[in-house]
Structure 1
Amino acid sequence: MHAIGIDLGTSGIRLALLDPEGARIHGAHRALPASVGGDEQRAEQNPALWWAIVRELLREAAAHLHGEPAAIAVDGTSATLLRLDADGRPTHPALMYNDARATDMLSVLAGVAPADSAVHSPSSSAAKLLWLRRHEGLSGVRRVLHQADWVTGRLRGRFDRMDENNALKLGYDALWGGWPNWLQETLGSDASLLPEVVPAGTVLGPLDPEMAESLHLNPACRMVAGTTDSIAGFLASGVGDDTTGVTSLGSTLVIKQLAPEPIYAPELGIYSHRLLGRWLVGGASNSGGAVLRQQFDDAALERLSAAIDPETDSGLDYLPLPRRGERFPVNDPELQPRLTPRPEDDARFLQGLFEGVARVEHDGYERLFELGAPRVERVVSLGGGAQNPVWTRIRSRILGLPVTTAEDDDAASGAARLARIGVGLETGFTG
């Protein structure tokens, strides 16, 4: 059986097709338009855009399958929430992972949710759901799902399951294994909107027959419960030991590592996912590549990077955030970016940005160690930022660790690997 992974990312959607031995035989990508935002806290997107691209990519992949069945798994941006009607159709635009309008729900959550829950952020899907309930109402809504769950549901023809990695920021208790009483009591009758939660990698059943026909796929294709985009990136890296950190440098900075026990510190933006019988701990900062994009285009980044000496510190002390608010390694929705003073030399300014993001990364791994995670001995990098050798050397200097680039950093490959694990084509972590 082949495996298909679909990655619903921030700026585009990717597909990876692996043969029965796990070798990549096809990949494709389509760009997505930017999220719509009326202000710095609002971020929405039309789910129809995702579905149109997913259909196109799957039809392309079908031509490479030659009628053979495949296991399919989907990953998506964490905490991107949809409201659905009784037929699984979105009733409104999706609230994206970085929509942060729900600041007024933090006091509500503080009064009902345990301190170690992953919901204590205005961008959490629990905060979003409570905000929608208070400010827009849930009339006509029969289900809430995350981005990956909804696309998986479209392919299954059913919208009754959610993977537990995406469910975490909606309030799911990964230790206990269920929707907690505090959430159900807070939602009241709206608790019926919550679906059944299953572990990532669970076989959900076959592709919907009519969907299979429309996509030219074998109806024996199996749908597998997916995960978040950053966890899919972790799976793509192939890391299986608990002393290797995995840093994803995309629009945001995400760090993760395996640990023997879960760690929850929402006041620092740290949470834990159960994954294939292990615990994956980490956090996601708002710092990252988006800040660089606000200042420079690709050509300028390449040109200015070549003028930087990565072994000499710039002397600048920046906190590179794209806008107000941070999630990790501090959780402060009012934290302001610090991007001054700006030197006349653009190369030095860029170096200061590189170093600022690297210090956020350093502090993130330090927080995990302080809270009980194993000490990281090396870091494997994913994402576009990992391709910049100057930035990699700066990060290695500031982290005090060897930093390498993953051989495969495509989250779609990670989702495909999860699909393979789900149907028994390969085992989980072997390190």
Structure 2
Amino acid sequence: MTEATSSAFAIGIDIGTSGVRAVALDRAGQTVATASHPFETPAEVRRPAAWWAGVEHCLGALRSATPLDGVAGLAVDGTSGTVLALDAAGAPIGDALLYNDRCTDPAALAAIAAAAPADSPALGGTSPLGKAIELAHRPGTVRILHQADWVASRLGDGIVVSDENNALKTGYDLQTESWPAWIAATGFDVGLLPPVRRVGTGLGAVGAAGRALGLPAAAIVHAGTTDGCASFLATGAREVGDGVTALGSTLVLKLLSDRPVFASDYGIYSHRIGDLWLPGGASNSGGAVLKALFGDAAIEALSASLDPDHPTGLDYYPLAAPGERFPVSDPAFPPRLEPRPADDARFFQGVLEGIAAIEALGYRRLAEHGAPALKSVRSVGGGARSAGWTKIRAARLGVPMREALSTDAAAGAARLVLANHALP
């Protein structure tokens, strides 16, 4: 937890895969305090009670660091595609189905494939809509929410509303701003899904649960977002052409655009952020490939030997197994990691150069499908800490590499409040 240096004005809460985080920002967007609460067991990531326990802990920690009486609003982000069923009393029915859980109902996936438009983000084996269809069969189900929706509803005493970012992969139509008619054609009761508002919209004042955690009665609960979009917002990227690359287990690119881009063959879809759009794609390359090839200890040691001023000339496409989705769309696309030099340091640098080449191709692919040209890049994820890799990437991308204001998704959720709350 960080100690406060000024007054808290906006709070963002991030429900992540390892725990809950909260960030308080002042009116100028500077961090006032942060708090975190890890999940104690892997099973807690899918248990709503554990999410709420983390929220209680984090808000208590923020309250210990700074007065919360000046907080104007808060927003929640959650993992995209995590859904849960509620009973008539608003209580969760069993565990949630996670963003990366595969739908186990083949009939549901077949119904979605038959009814959905070809470019719908609701298609695929991990479809949140497919999982919602599964959840609808749990006895007593009267409502299905996304992870962020449920936490916000607890803070707002029953404000049952979703946001466009979380609803997108469940089939929500951004053009008509409604749940489309084709969802009913799958046999699913669309009435189980919540109403949807644009990201950052003020939904209503906090309720008794929020006030019990130290939030003022006048604080507004805002429509939240996904963890990926929140991470983008946290960096401070705000101009058309600003890109954010997440260098985690996989390589994920997002680019701020003045128009939406959809290309289902490449897994490209767009979230709406205010009046702008956030198209992006995810490669199967990334940190998981590095870990498989070298191991964590060797990666740290080899990073010190990088020589970005002298490229290896090796032409790699690093993948852990055949198959790529973006920027190449080919389920059988083979890894390319030959020839392998005897020098591990040269091989390591060649692999990093290969991932950088995929990143550059990814931003070009977005532009080919209608996104604006890349103007700058900010980086998040573990790989962002490597100065040598950053220099390698800068040479490939040919644009300025900007420093991220924050890499904390909770800070991005708090920035939604700053951007959308009407200041007195």
TM-score, normalised with respect to structure 1: 0.86
> Do the aligned partners of residues 353 and 74 (structure 1) sit closer, same or farther apart at CA in structure 2, a change above 3 Å counting?
farther
The answer to whether the 8 A contact 1:122-1:128 is kept is: no
**Is this contact kept in 1: 2:266–2:329, CA < 8 A?**
yes
Q: Which residue of 2 aligns with 1:110?
A: 113
Q: Counterpart of 1:114 in 2: which secondary structure?
A: coil
Alpha carbons of structure 1 residues 335 and 49: separation in structure 2 relative to 1, 3 Å: farther
- Give 3-state SS (helix, strand or coil) of 1:96's partner: coil
Distance between the aligned counterparts of 1:325 and 1:185, measured in 2? 32
Q: Aligned pair in 2 of structure 1 residues 33, 118: CA closer, same or farther (>3 Å)?
A: farther
Q: 1:299 to 1:219 in 2, by over 3 A?
A: farther
Distance 1:17 1:192, change over 3 A: same
CA shift in 2, pair 1:92/1:253, >3 Å: farther
1:93 aligns with 2:95: yes
Deviations 1:69-100 (A, max 9, x none): 42111111211222222233322322222223
Aligned twin of 2:49: 48
The residue type paired with residue 59 of structure 2 is: L
Seen in structure 2, the aligned counterparts of structure 1 residues 157 and 312 have a Cα distance that, compared at 3 Å, is: same
Gapped runs of 5+ residues in structure 1?
37-42, 427-431
Per-residue deviation, 1:393: 1.9
CA distance in 1, matches of 2:20, 2:146: 16
Identity across the alignment (%): 47
CA distance in 1, matches of 2:104, 2:359: 26
Matched residue, 1:78: 80
Residues 273 and 312 of structure 1: CA distance in aligned 2, closer, same or farther (over 3 Å): same
Residues in 1 aligned to 2:330 and 2:134: alpha-carbon distance in whole angstroms: 19
Q: 1:21 to 1:378 in 2, by over 3 A?
A: closer
**Does structure 2 retain, via aligned residues, the 8 Å contact 1:291–1:320?**
yes
Q: Is the 8 A contact 2:16 2:78 kept in 1?
A: yes
SS in 2 for 1:94: coil
- AA aligned opposite 2:77: D
SS at match of 2:352: helix
The answer on whether the counterparts of 1:44 and 1:99 sit within 8 Å (CA) in structure 2 is no
Backbone CA RMSD of aligned residues = 2.9
**Where in structure 2 are there 5+ consecutive unaligned residues?**
1-7
Equivalent in the alignment of 1:39: none
Partner of 1:155: 155
Q: Secondary structure of the equivalent of 1:200?
A: coil
Q: CA shift at 1:210, angstroms?
A: 3.8
Alpha-carbon distance, 1:422 to partner = 2.4
Partner-residue secondary structure (3-state), 2:20: strand
Deviation at 1:217, TM superposition (A): 2.9
Query: Distance between the aligned counterparts of 1:73 and 1:155, measured in 2?
Result: 10
Q: What residue identity is the alignment partner of 1:355?
A: E
What residue identity is the alignment partner of 1:27?
T
Amino acid at match of 1:122: G
Tell me the residue number matched to 2:222: 224
Letter paired with 1:144: I
Using the TM superposition, name which of 238-247 and 333-342 deviates more: 333-342
Q: Contact between 1:81 and 1:95, CA under 8 Å: does it hold in 2?
A: yes
Conserved 8 A contact 1:69-1:220: no
Q: How far apart, CA to CA, are the structure 2 residues paired with 1:337 and 1:192?
A: 45
Q: Flag the 1:68–1:255 CA change in 2: closer, same or farther, 3 A.
A: same
Q: Deviations over 1:311-358 (max 9, x none)?
A: 41362524335x776553356677676667766654344334423432
Alpha-carbon spacing, 1:96–1:271, altered in 2? closer, same or farther (3 Å): same
Seen in structure 2, the aligned counterparts of structure 1 residues 45 and 354 have a Cα distance that, compared at 3 Å, is farther
- 24, 46, 50: which one pairs with 2:31? 24
Q: CA 1:286/1:73 → structure 2, altered by over 3 Å: closer, same or farther? A: farther
| Bigger Cα displacement from structure 2, 152-161 vs 393-402 | 393-402
1:315/1:337 Cα in 2 relative to 1: closer, same or farther (>3 Å)? closer
Compute the TM-score of the two structures, normalised by the length of structure 2: 0.87
Inter-partner Cα distance in structure 2 for 1:103 and 1:398:
43
> Equivalents in 2 of 1:172, 1:418: separation in Å?
21
Alignment partner, residue 122 of structure 2: 119
Number of residues paired by the alignment?
Answer: 414
Amino acid at match of 1:114: P
With over 3 angstroms needed to count, the CA separation of the structure-2 counterparts of 1:121 and 1:34, relative to structure 1, is farther
Query: What's 1:138 paired with?
Result: 138
How far does the alpha carbon of each residue in 1:288-317 deviate from its partner, in whole angstroms, 9 at most, with x for none?
Answer: 334444555654322111122234136252
Aligned match of 1:410 = 408
Alpha-carbon deviation of 1:67? 4.5
Q: Give the direction of change, closer, same or farther, for the CA distance of 1:124–1:393 in structure 2 (3 Å limit).
A: farther
Amino acid at match of 1:175: Q
AA of the residue aligned to 2:100:
N
Matches of 2:135 and 2:201, distance apart in 1: 30
Q: SS where residue 160 of structure 1 aligns?
A: coil
Does residue 237 of structure 1 match 2:239?
Answer: no
Q: Could you say which residue in structure 1 is the equivalent of 2:67?
A: 66
Contact 1:103–1:122 under 8 Å retained in 2: no
Per-residue CA distance 1:127-153 (angstroms, 9 max, x = gap) = 3334556xxx33222221112111111
Distance (whole Å) between structure 2 residues aligned to residue 55 and residue 89 of structure 1: 17
Instruction: Please give the secondary structure, in 2, of the residue aligned with 1:129.
Output: helix
Q: Is 1:263 the equivalent of 2:270? A: no
Taking the aligned partners of 2:288 and 2:18, their CA distance within structure 1 comes to: 11
